[in-house]
Amino acid sequence: MKLYNRNFAVGDRIEYMGWINEGVINNNISWQTYKPRFLVLKGTEVMFFDSPPLSVSCLAKPTCAYKVYQTMFRVIKESETVDARQHCFLLQSSPPQSSPRYLSVETRQELLRIENSWNSTIITSVIKLGRKTFAVLHLSRSGGLTLDWQSGFSLTGSDSTIVWKYKFSALRGSSDDGKSKRITT
């Protein structure tokens, strides 16, 4: 990583690279099978390779890649695992129709390394992204939720009028239980 990172700017550096196992769902057998994958968290992307990239140019050719800011990372609780493997996590990327990737590593320490690297990559992505507007529905009308690293977050209506605007420091909490959404300021 150190050698590769010499070639990249700070916002595009590699935060993690290493082997993981990906659960492969096969409806014809009753147990989970796994396939080794090489995972790289770099800049604003999470990338999967079938074998380690042997050069900087190989990093541009992943088997699969997702934008980190469009991907959810979640550590699986021991009670939620699909088999006896420990140290499992999910990656779910948008669009929501894409299947989650069920992944595992050998040790708790390696899982913590990935989680810490993920958090660093998220911060890098948000700073690099600067400003992003997402299409939303508000009171059954289309609108846009804008996250701006400098000024905070705002909601605009379909006619581009600002419904509300807050600095990040005003956010005390938010939730979405699938029925109601709440932002507390």
Q: Classify 89 as helix, strand or coil.
A: strand
Residue that the structure tokens 């590699």 belong to: 14
Which amino acid is present at 100? P
Could you give the 3-state DSSP secondary structure of residue 36?
strand
pLDDT score for 108 = 96
| pLDDT the model gives residue 88 | 94
Predicted confidence pLDDT, tens digits, the chain (185 residues): 888 999 999 889 999 999 999 998 666 665 678 999 999 999 999 999 999 999 999 999 999 999 998 899 999 998 888 888 899 999 998 766 578 899 999 999 999 999 999 999 998 888 888 888 888 988 888 999 998 888 888 999 988 899 999 988 887 766 555 555 556 65
Q: What pTM was estimated for this model as a whole?
A: 0.76
The pLDDT value recorded for residue 97 is 59
**pLDDT score, position 150:** 86
- What does the DSSP 8-state code read for residue 105? -
Q: Give the model's pLDDT for residue 117.
A: 96
Residue 93 to residue 99: CA distance in whole angstroms: 8
The dotted CATH code for 2-129 is 2.30.29.30
Q: Residue ranges per domain, the chain?
A: 2-129, 131-184
Beta pairing partners, 72 = 92
Give the pLDDT confidence score for residue 107 in this predicted structure: 96
Residues recorded for the chain = 185
